[in-house]
Structure formats: C-alpha cells, structure tokens
Amino acid sequence: MGDSTKKWFSLNLGNSNTKPSGSCGCGNPSGGCGSHNSENADVNAIGEERHKDGFEQVFDVKMDRRSAFKKLTASLMVGAGAVTTSCSVIVGEETKEKAQIDWEEQFKGNYKLMSDEEKNGTVDRLVRSYQLRTGKTISLSSKNAEEDVLFGYAFNISKCQGYMDCVTACVEENNQDRSSQMEYIRIHEMKDGKGFNFNEADDNYYHEVPAEGHFYMGTQCFHCDNPPCVEVCPVQATWREDDGLVVVDYDWCVGCRYCMAACPYDGRRFNWSTPEVPEEEVNKNQHYLGNRMRKKGVVEKCTFCVQRSRAGKNPACVEACPTGARIFGNLLDPDSTIRWVLENKKVFRLKEDLGTEPKFWYFMD
C-alpha cells in the first residue's frame, strides 16, 4: 500500500506541476485507468462535452437542445400554470417574476455544460428567487476550479478522539436537512486491538468520548480520481471537477440513486423528503455546486466545502476539528501540509483494490 502512494507521487505530482490535468493515481503506465495523458484526463474528468477540441460542438449541442426544447414546450406553455400566472395582469410583479424564474429554472441545462455566462444567469435567478421567497439575500458563487489545484485530504487516526465537532460543523456549513439528521461524515468507533474492523465499529454512538479502549476513524466522500458514481449517472448530473472535487448538480439530478449503489464508501446521501433548515440557521455563503439549498428527491454529498475551499479556506470539518486530525490542501503545491503528510507519513487509503483512487488518506503518528 505504501508503494502505491509512492507511485501517486512519482506519476502525478511530479508531472502535474507543469501539467495538472495529467495527474493520475493508478500508477499503471499502460493507461488502464484512462487518465494518463492530459487529453484523456480531460475526457475522464469532465466528459466529452467539454473536450477542448470540441468546444464549438458543445456550443452547438447546447443551442440545439435549448431551441429544440423551446419548440417542444411551446405548446405546453399554454396550459402551464406558471405561465398563466406570469401572463395575468392582476397578480403582482413579484409573483410574475417568481413564476418566470421557476419556469426558466425548470428548463435550464446541465451546469456542467454551461458557459460562464449561463452559470451566472442561473446563480442570479436563484439568488433573486430566494430573495423573493424569504426577503433575505444570499451570496451564491459559481466560481470554477482554479488551475494547478488538486484538492486532497488526510486523516490522522491517532489524533481523532471522536468528538464529532466536524460532523456538527459540516451540517451547519452545508445546510443539510435537519429533520432527517443527514450527515456526510461518519465517525466509526473501533475497538483497540481489533484493527480496522468496520464490522464491529459503531458509527452511531451517543456516549462520552474518547471511550476507553477505542479509537476513531472518520469517513466521508473520498473524491475519488476514478469515481464509480460518476460513471453510472445516466444524465451526467455528477462529475469530477478539474480540481478533483466530485460534485452534483442538484437541479439536473433525476434521483435514480444509481450513484448511491455504485459508491463503495457510503459517500452519498439522498433527500428522501423536502430538506428543512430553520431560516436563522441557513448558511448564506453558498456555492452552486456546494451548500445551496437542495430540494427533495435529489442526491447530495460532501464537496470538501467547495464554497470555502475554492475561496482559499479549509473545509468546515478541518476548521472545526479540535485535535488537528484533519488535514486539507492542494496536492499540486509542494509546500502544502498535505504534501508533507503524504511524503513523511505511512499513509493508506480504504478499499484501494477497487481502483477508485480516493484522494483521502489515513495515517498515524
């Protein structure tokens, strides 16, 4: 296992200072993972639609879809309630605007394929819609991945005491549904002397920690470099961003939950009912791909707090950890703490045999 970590370095990080998108952690020079040369990596990471050579095509496809859809729905519009309201002269301007926004939001495209302009468009609509509904203003970002950034995470098993401050901070930061107590992070309480025996571990404890004779290990989405969840999505509503984050477009997800079946790490959560967050607890610093408000029937997951990490901050779980067990940073920055950990500690990853290449390492002091 140590060996494969080494490969990660020699193959990826060495190269990737000059060619960040060419990074691949499989350590297999024959290209079995499909992400070896930078061109391949592009396809693997973002999907064919955003292949650099085919930008024109992308644009065309998009216009086609839009115009085709407009034509298709033109006849439907007559009967649609939203339009009826928006055409009515009796109702107020705000109701009309709300209906207009709802209509455009219902029929917008996949965020992954949007141009920056379109991204700004939908973000503006969502901010305005929230304002109309609650009278409050949120800050919603559509910041793209930066160049020469590949996010990675390390977890110090020796330090974690199971306080679960990370879990609480995560829920508050990411506006998760309070009624179903959705949590992205699970802390597994393991017995000393049993090794990493997840079967006997308890991820739902309610007692004082650290409990005698136990150690703790946290899991969440590992932001795999070769994520099985992305492959199986029938509508490409989930994908790997250029900085390595595996994200979901909540508005494009159809809720089939195939990704949940495909994830070997229990990294995904589903909104079984309409998510509820008390208005005063809503975190208003949001990102389209991160902690913006979700709706029922869509899948969500940890995004390494994209709204924070792309703004140069640590994810909420890292910041909240009282023991310093959590380390986050840019794998392509040779001076980062995460790089120091990977180079100086005996690190390992979970279920490496599945070929998922998680960007989440465990280590001990």
Partner 1 sequence: MRRLKVFGSLVKDSLDVITHGSKKYHIWMAFLTFVMLVGMYCYSVQLEHGLSVTGMTDRVSWGLYISNFTFLVGVAAAAVMLVMPTYVLKDIDFKQAVLIGEGIAVAALIMCLAFVIADMGGPSVLWHMIPGIGVFNFPNSMLTWDVLVLNGYLFLNISIPFYILFKHYQGKKSNSKVYIPGALLSVFWAVGIHLVTAFLYQGLQARPFWNNALLGPRFLASAFAAGPALIILVLAIIRTFTVFKIKNKTLKKIAMVVTVAAQINLIMLASELFKEFYAPTHHSESAYYLFFGLDGKTALLPWIWTSISLNVLATVTLTFHKLRNNSKVLYFACFILFVAIWIEKGFGLIVPGFIPGPYGKIVEYTPTGIEIGVTLGIWALGAFVFTMLAKTAIKIETGALRYRKKES
Compute how many other C-beta atoms are within 10 angstroms of the C-beta atom of residue 249.
22
| Total residues interacting with partner 1, rule: CB under 8 A | 56
The verdict on 59 binding partner 1 (CB under 8 A) reads no
CB of 356 to partner 1, least distance (A): 8
Q: 10 Å Cβ neighbour count for 246?
A: 26
210 binds partner 1 (CB under 8 A): no
Supply the minimum distance, in Å, between the C-beta of residue 289 and partner 1. 16
C-alpha span between 64 and 190 (Å, rounded):
54
Tell me whether residue 68 or residue 87 sits nearer to partner 1 (CB atom). 68
**For residues 121 and 228, which CB has a smaller minimum distance to partner 1 in the complex?**
228
Give the footprint of partner 1 on residues 61-120 (CB under 8 A): 64-65, 68-69, 72, 106, 110, 113
Cβ contacts of 61 within 8 Å, gap of 6 or more: 49, 113
CA atoms lying within 13 Å on the CB side of residue 177:
19
Instruction: Please choose, out of 129-137, 207-215, 233-241, 330-338, the segment that lies near partner 1 by the rule CB under 8 A.
Output: 233-241
Q: Which residues contact 352 (CB under 8 A, 6 or more apart)?
A: 1, 4, 358
Our finding on whether 236 is near partner 1 (CB under 8 A) is: yes
Interacting stretch for partner 1, rule CB under 8 A, among 85-93, 142-150, 261-269, 313-321? 261-269
Per CB under 8 A, does 266 bind partner 1? Answer: yes
For residues 338 and 153, the answer to whether their CB atoms sit within 8 Å is: yes
274-293 footprint of partner 1 as x/- string (CB under 8 A): x-------------------
Whichever of 269 and 359 has its CB closer to partner 1, that residue is 269
Which residues lie below 8 Å from residue 208, measured CB to CB, with a gap of 6+? none
Buried/exposed 24-55: b ≥16 CB within 10 Å, e otherwise:
bbbbeeeeebebbebebbbebbbbebbeeeee
Question: Binding to partner 1 by residue 252, rule CB under 8 A?
Answer: yes
Neighbouring CB atoms inside 10 A of 109's CB total 18
**Residue 354 binds partner 1 (CB under 8 A):** yes
